[in-house]
């Protein structure tokens, strides 16, 4: 693949990544505003992990939330997604660096490392925000129907493994950028 084509693909991936960030945050808010969009039995399947786990089986109740409870649900469920969006933004900036031909730059390694850290933070915040969100969602329920939930899922472990792999690759890229810089000084 020639460098011009690689630069074009990198630029396109930068745009796709930005679109994904925006869509992810908007769809998360939309499933709280319109719970029928969630992946419940009659839904359209647009739920995200944390929001979907809280809406599943109670879409009718969520649709009747007062505005402040809906807003609080959007905020609490968006906290982990903001961390993920930050990581995806660093991925977008990495693609922009590649589009400029900066393959072995220290900035590229820095962006890739921040992607890995953001994924770890996303998993951690998802784990921490779930109990808060479950209490928030069920606070107006009658006694005996209120709940607190905590989930550890297989996708979380996969995300942590991928984050570790990304972090190792970022360190390798940082080392490669230092070697590339040294080689340029000798030439």
| pLDDT, tens only, 60-77 | 888 889 999 999 999 999
Concatenate the DSSP letters of all residues of 65-102 into one string.
--HHHHHHHHHHHHHHHHHHHHHHHHHHHHHHHHHTT-
Q: Give the pLDDT of residue 143.
A: 83
**Residue 182: other Cβ atoms inside 10 A:** 9
Question: Residue 57 to residues 41, 42, 185: CA-CA distances in angstroms?
Answer: 8, 10, 63
**Residue 181: other Cβ atoms inside 10 A:** 12
Q: Report whether pLDDT(182) > 80.
A: no
| pLDDT, tens only, 3-37 | 789 889 999 999 999 999 999 999 999 999 988 87
Q: Report whether pLDDT(48) > 80.
A: no
Q: Give the pLDDT of residue 39.
A: 59
> Of 75-79, 81-85, 95-99, 139-143, which range is least confident?
139-143
More confident residue, 161 or 182: 161
Q: Report whether pLDDT(83) > 90.
A: yes
| pLDDT, tens only, 85-103 | 999 999 999 999 999 988 8
């Amino acid at each position: 693949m020639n460098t011009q084509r690689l630069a074009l693909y990198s630029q396109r991936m930068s745009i796709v990544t930005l679109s994904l960030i925006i869509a992810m945050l908007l769809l998360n808010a939309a499933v709280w505003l319109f719970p029928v969009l969630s992946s419940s039995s009659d839904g359209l399947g647009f739920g995200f992990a944390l929001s979907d786990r809280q809406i599943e089986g109670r879409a009718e109740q969520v649709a009747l939330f007062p505005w402040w409870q809906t807003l609080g649900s959007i905020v609490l469920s968006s906290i982990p997604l903001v961390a993920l969006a930050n990581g995806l933004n660093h991925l977008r900036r990495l693609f922009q660096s590649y589009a400029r031909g900066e393959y072995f730059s220290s900035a590229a390694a820095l962006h890739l490392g921040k992607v890995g850290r953001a994924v770890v933070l996303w998993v951690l915040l998802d784990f921490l925000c779930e109990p808060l969100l479950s209490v928030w969602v069920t606070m107006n329920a009658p006694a005996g129907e209120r709940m607190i939930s905590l989930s550890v899922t297989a996708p979380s472990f996969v995300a942590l493994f991928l984050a570790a792999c990304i972090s190792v690759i970022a360190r390798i890229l940082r080392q490669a950028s230092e070697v590339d810089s040294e080689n340029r000084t000798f030439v």
